[in-house]
Amino acid sequence: MYEFEFVKPTTLADAIAALGAEEAQALGGGQTLIPTMKQRLAAPAVLVSLTGIEEMKGVSIGDGIITIGGATPHAVVAEAVAGAYPALAALAGNIGDPAVRNRGTIGGSLANNDPSACYPAAALASGATVVTSNREIAADDYFQGMFTTALEDGEIVTAVRFPVPEVASYRKFEQPASRFALVGVFVAKYPEGVRVAVTGASEEGVFRWTEAEAALSVEFSPDALEGLNVSPEGMIGDLHGTAEYRAHLVKVMTKRAVAACIG
């Protein structure tokens, strides 16, 4: 790790101001950034911790909408939304290990947009709204490819709003070493239709499987997916699985998520 300055503001305004400094970098739970810095692959001059900002922490539930503060750790989400949005709670409760879940935050995960992270699938499948320090961004506009989002420099994810679906399920097929998603599929059924978001599989990061959405919106059952296939083109191929394998798993995990929904 190189030397850096560390600030821990207690208000959003102070955090925004601090991020204006040269080579400043926002720090959520640090579950990606800190290991990267320890490897000397990142060298911010100033780290601006967001975990001291009370207004960015906690979960509120009301009127069919769950709002999660950007600095809320996964373990808190897992507990807080267990009744209101069980699929989201299960997802949060199965990220990493207990240490990761008690440090890592939803805002940090969405800002990083790791192509194998779990939260992007939930946000995209739920049609969530990413609330930032200066605007609101629909999930469909927010995710823009591997490690790329609509966020601008210095923009902070302050909260994420999830419309609660009628039913939903997340099925993660774990990469054996990291236990990130080799393929993770989040299926959420809303009155307006079904949304299916896939993480871990594509070189473009999280994406919606629109053919499956259309088929499931007509008939919400695993059988509705029978005739569909995912093209391996553009899928990730690595040590842990070829593009063909990942494409295959997308369908398997989608069917399993739907099956879990109709249980």
Partner 1 sequence: MPKDHGIGASPKRREDLRFLTGSGRYTDDINLRGQAYVHFLRSDMAHGKINGINTRMAEEMPGVIRIFTGADFEGIGGLPCGWQVTDKHGQPMQEPGHPVLAQGKVRHVGDPIAAVVAESREQARDAAEAIEVDIEELPAVIDMKAALEDGAALVHDDLTSNLCYDWGFVEENKAAVEEAFQKAAHVTTLELVNNRLIANPMEPRVAVGDYDRADDESTLYTTSQNPHVIRLLMGAFVLGIPEHKLRVVAPDVGGGFGTKIFHYAEEAFCTFAAKQINRPVKWTASRSEAFISDAHGRDHVTKIQLALDADNNFTALRTDTYANMGAYLSTFAPSVPTWLHGTLMAGNYKTPLVYVNVKAVFTNTVPVDAYRGAGRPEATFQLERVIDKAALELGVDPIALRRQNFITEFPYATPVAVEYDTGDYHATMDKLEEIADLKGFAARRAESETRGRLRGLGINCYIEACGIAPSNLVGQLGARAGLYESATVRVNATGGLVVMTGSHSHGQGHETSFPQVIAEMIGIDESMVEIVHGDTSKVPMGMGTYGSRSLAVGGSAMVRATEKIIKKAKKIAAHLMEASEADIELKDGQFSVAGTDKSVAWGDVTLAAYVPHNYPLDEIEPGLEETAFYDPANFTYPSGAYACEVEVDPATGKVTIERFSAADDFGNIINPMIVTGQVHGGIGQGIGQALLEGAVYDENGQLLSASYMDYAMPRASDVPFYTVDHSCQTPCTHNPLGVKGCGEAGAIGSPPAVVNAVVDALRSAGKDITHIDMPLSPARVWAAMNG
Contacts with partner 1 by CB under 8 A lie at 1-2, 39-40, 173, 176-178, 180, 182, 239-242, 245, 248-249, 252
Give me the least distance between CB of 144 and partner 1, in Å please: 24
68 vs 182, beta carbon nearer partner 1: 182
Rank residues 1 and 138 by Cβ distance to partner 1 and give the closer one: 1
Nearer CB in complex with partner 1: 2/63: 2
Strand bridging mode 59-62 / 65-69? antiparallel
Centroid of chain to Cα 201: 14
- Helix (H) / strand (E) containing 185: strand 181-190
Nearer to partner 1, 126 or 199 (CB): 199
Q: What is the length of the chain?
A: 263
SS3 state of residue 134: coil
Rounded to a whole number of angstroms, the minimum distance from the CB of residue 105 to partner 1 is 20
**Closest CB 83 distance from partner 1, rounded Å:** 27
Are residues 134 and 107 in contact, defined by beta-carbon separation less than 8 angstroms?
no
- Shortest Cβ 182–partner 1 spacing (Å): 8
Instruction: Tokens 């419309």: give the residue.
Output: 163
Nearest distance in Å: CB 113, partner 1: 17
Task: Name the residue with tokens 């989608």.
Answer: 254
Q: Give me 234's structure tokens.
A: 């553009």
Of 72 and 169, CB closest to partner 1: 169
Please give the biggest Cα pair distance in the chain.
57
Q: Is 41 exposed, middle or buried (0-12, 13-18, 19+ CB in 10 A)?
A: exposed
